[in-house]
Chains A and B, each alone.
Chain A
Amino acid sequence: MVQKLETLIESASQTAGPYVHIGLMPSYTGNGQIYDHELGHSPIEDGAKGEIIEITGEVFDGTGWALRDALIESWQPDAAGNFPGNEGADPAVSGWCRFAADADSGEFTLRTVKPGKVALRGGGFSAPHISLWIVARGINIGLQTRIYFEDEDNSGDPLLSRIEQAPRVQTLIAKKVADGKYRYNIRLQGEGETVFLDI
């Protein structure tokens, strides 16, 4: 017998199901009175430094139908690329948000500050991006992806450079539709499938 490892095994994921909003966004289901402060309403407070932007989009399934029950969380640094909790980070940026696809239209909106580029462990920077985590009925383990921006320099980004098929890079890049407004659609499956991450 070999020696025994003392590491544990991660708890297995399960789908968040169709009623995920009861637990994570009670006000979305009309149950908002249960908590005095609901968590994750906005990633910024008034006075956040930088450009305030609005990203809208839809999450499509493999048939092209927009999910009406998706819940998304986002995580990002401030306009200078500093993550909340780190020294010098903008105190008006919590960096974390929960938002949901509209139950009728399937459209989501994220209003936040445009993030700065982020220093990498080995030197260099990654292009400005917002990390996303998507859960819903039918998604057995939360899907991770990123939003990049078409009006930023994405050329040296190590994650985008790692995508073998160049056209797939475009699935991670939000399109600018007006000043401060971007469009970012997520395709779970099939043509134009979004690049999902294992990191």
Chain B
Amino acid sequence: MRADKGPLIPRNREIHPDPYDPGYKTSVARSPNLPLLAMESGQSEETGPTFGHSKFGQYDNNLILNWNRGAAPAVGERIMMHGRVVDENNRAVPNTLVEIWQANAGGRYRHKKDGYLAPLDPNFGGCGRTLTDENGYYQFLTIRPGAYPWPNRGNDWRPMHIHVSVFGHSFGQRLITQMYFEGDPLINLCPIAATVKDRASLDRLVAPLDMAHSRPLDFLAYKFDIVLRGRRQTMFENRIEGM
């Protein structure tokens, strides 16, 4: 049994995107019309898989080298993406799975459905994964993705972004989000970014340039901290649940 017990703190859906948002056209037919059914979490939401280090390879969190196992580096602006995964109670989430995927420096994805005319980079796959350490820290080495156009309104372009999937310690904490880059003027034009109506929530998805963690003559750094749902805390050890 895990040390962290107790029900999950209910989601505040006001800080999340609206499921139905006509500015992001695909959401119109893919958003439920009826309200969600709310319940207190149980075992199904409070437990989740664990991931052992043995399944991970040497280059899994290095997107500059992982596509061809170190034979040649990807082209683009070399960056380190790093940060901490914590919960709403500001407790570290150690040994949890963080996965990322992204386009290459020209904005092209290595996916059969992406027909954008910017070329693939033969040395770039575009996905990475890692486990957070005992203090909740993770890091990736990658190249900064390019902006790319997408068929939404007449002339929509996604800002530079990296998709981020985080597991947490329970199935009910599951989260997928996107990291944007400080200063990108496309953020304010993007209908997907704009699905988040609370500006402070959107700002928390924008990673600042982090010179203190950049390596001179090698890579720039961007810091991206992630907050997952927390649990109602147990106040007394002899109680099964929180107060």
A residues near B (Cβ < 8 Å) are 6-24, 26, 29-31, 34-37, 39, 61-63, 65, 67, 69, 73, 75-77, 83-87, 94-96, 103, 118-121, 126, 129, 131, 133, 135-144, 146, 158-159, 162-163, 188-190, 193-199
Which residues of the other chain, A, contact B229 by a CB distance below 8 angstroms? 10
Q: Is the CB of A196 within 8 A of B97?
A: no
- Nearest CB of chain A from residue B186's CB, rounded to whole Å: 15
Complex CA–CA separation, A86 to B50 (angstroms): 12
Q: How many A-B residue pairs have CB under 8 A?
A: 260
Q: A144: which B residues are within 8 A, CB to CB? A: 172
Are B101 and A22 neighbours in the complex by a CB distance under 8 Å? Answer: yes
Say whether chain B's binding surface is mostly helix, strand, loop, or mixed.
Answer: loop
- Chain B: interface residue count, which band? 35 or more
Binds A, one of B74-82, B200-208, B215-223: B200-208
A14 to B56, CA, bound (A): 26
In contact, A75 and B171 (Cβ under 8 angstroms):
yes
| Interface of A, helix, strand, loop or mixed by DSSP | loop
Assuming the contacts A85-B47, A121-B240, A198-B37, asked whether A138 and B29 have C-beta atoms less than 8 A apart, the reply is yes
Q: In the complex the two chains form, is A12's CB within 8 Å of B205's CB?
A: yes
Bound together, the chains give a CA A164 to CA B99 distance in angstroms of 38
Chain A residues with CB under 8 Å of B112's CB are 29-30, 103
Q: Are B49 and A13 in contact (CB under 8 A)?
A: no
* With contact pairs A10-B227, A12-B201, A17-B163 given, residues A23 and B174 touching in the complex (Cβ less than 8 Å): no
Complex interface: chain B residues within 8 A of A133 (CB): 171, 174
Q: Does B90 make an interface contact (CB < 8 A)?
A: yes
Cβ contact within 8 Å between B12 and A77: no
Task: Say whether, besides A29-B110, A29-B111, A131-B44, A24 and B165 are in contact (CB < 8 Å).
Answer: yes
Whether the Cβ atoms of A118 and B111 lie closer than 8 Å is no
Instruction: Check A75 against B49 for contact (C-beta < 8 Å).
Output: yes
Q: Within the complex, what minimum Cβ distance (angstroms) separates A78 from chain B?
A: 12
B39 contacts the other chain (CB 8 A)? yes
